[in-house]
Chains A and B, each alone.
Chain A
Amino acid sequence: ILNVEQSPQSLHVQEGDSTNFTCSFPSSNFYALHWYRWETAKSPEALFVMTLNGDEKKKGRISATLNTKEGYSYLYIKGSQPEDSATYLCAPPDNYGQNFVFGPGTRLSVLP
């Protein structure tokens, strides 16, 4: 079973704060990593597909980086807003490089 870790498990920040969280994964059999945002009572929404070591992708105030050699990806949110409150999931490939394994997520609450 692939061990995907996300930290922290949860965090609370004030509106306007910037924050970041981590996804750690074994670096073997890597070919892509997905980030998703999952708001309560909604569907998980794809944020980024990261494929290359050193990749940095940005979508509005949210950005992500990837280090495949050391097996981690960071997600950054600049100037958090209440609408950013959600669970953020990462999904690297499984041990066989065939399917994606979801991490436990980081639950973000942005307080107004």
Chain B
Amino acid sequence: ETGVTQTPRHLVMGMTNKKSLKCEQHLGHNAMYWYKQSAKKPLELMFVYSLEERVENNSVPSRFSPECPNSSHLFLHLHTLQPEDSALYLCASSQDSDGQGNYGYTFGSGTRLTVV
């Protein structure tokens, strides 16, 4: 257990469904991230929240909608996804709210999403 908890671990959803991924950390970190890993591709940054404000939206389609209600929780709301959105979605946190990169990220175990 890394201190970053993601639920669910696995999710199968239809293209018309709406679902949410949840991430929780109680490490006292003030930055949280969503990453996507598609098959045979590097980890791809989706969203960054620093001090509960979104500071990065890496050209992600609007069918992915993040929410950070407080510094300990991060959600990724999903709606009308496509089969090509099937991937591993990883949440991470760090102390690095100033963007200086001096702290490594703590990752969750990920949600394996399959869109059918």
* Chain A residues close to B by CB (< 8 Å): 4, 31-34, 36, 42-49, 51, 89, 93, 98-105
Instruction: Knowing A43-B4, A99-B56 are in contact, say whether A49-B99 is a contact too (CB < 8 A).
Output: no
Number of interface residues of B (CB under 8 A): 25
Nearest 5 CB-CB pairs, A to B?
A46-B104, A32-B101, A102-B43, A43-B107, A44-B107
Contacts of A104 in B (CB 8 A): 41-42
- The CA of A46 and the CA of B106, in the complex, are separated in Å by 7
**B67-113 interface (Cβ within 8 A of A):** 90, 92, 99-110
Flag if A99 contacts B48 (CB, 8 Å).
Answer: yes
Tell me the bound Cα distance from A107 to B37 in angstroms. 15
Complex Cα–Cα for A48 and B101 (A): 11
Task: Tell me the nearest residue of chain A to B2, going by C-beta.
Answer: A43
- Tell me whether chain A's interface is mostly helix, strand or loop, or mixed: loop
Q: Is B45 an interface residue (CB 8 A)?
A: yes
In the complex formed, the residue of A with least CB distance to B101 is A32
Nearest-neighbor residue (CB-CB) of A31 within chain B = B101
* B108 surroundings in chain A (CB, below 8 A): 43
| A102 touching B42, Cβ below 8 Å | yes
CA A51 to CA B107, docked complex, whole Å: 21
Which residue of the partner chain A has the closest CB to B40?
A: A104
When chains A and B are docked, how far (Å) is the Cα of A4 from the Cα of B44?
Answer: 12
In whole angstroms, what is the CA distance A106 to B103 when docked?
A: 22
Knowing A43-B4, A43-B109, the reply to whether A105 touches B102 (Cβ < 8 A) is no
Structural contact, B43 and A46, CB atoms closer than 8 A: no
Q: Which residues of A sit under 8 angstroms from B43, Cβ to Cβ? A: 44, 89, 102
In the bound assembly, the distance between CA atoms of A34 and B2 in angstroms comes to 17
Which among B45, B101, B110 is the interface contact of A49 at CB below 8 angstroms?
A: B101
Q: 12 additional contacts, CB 8 Å, given A4-B42, A44-B90, A102-B43?
A: A31-B101, A32-B101, A36-B105, A43-B108, A49-B102, A49-B103, A100-B45, A100-B105, A101-B45, A102-B42, A104-B41, A104-B42
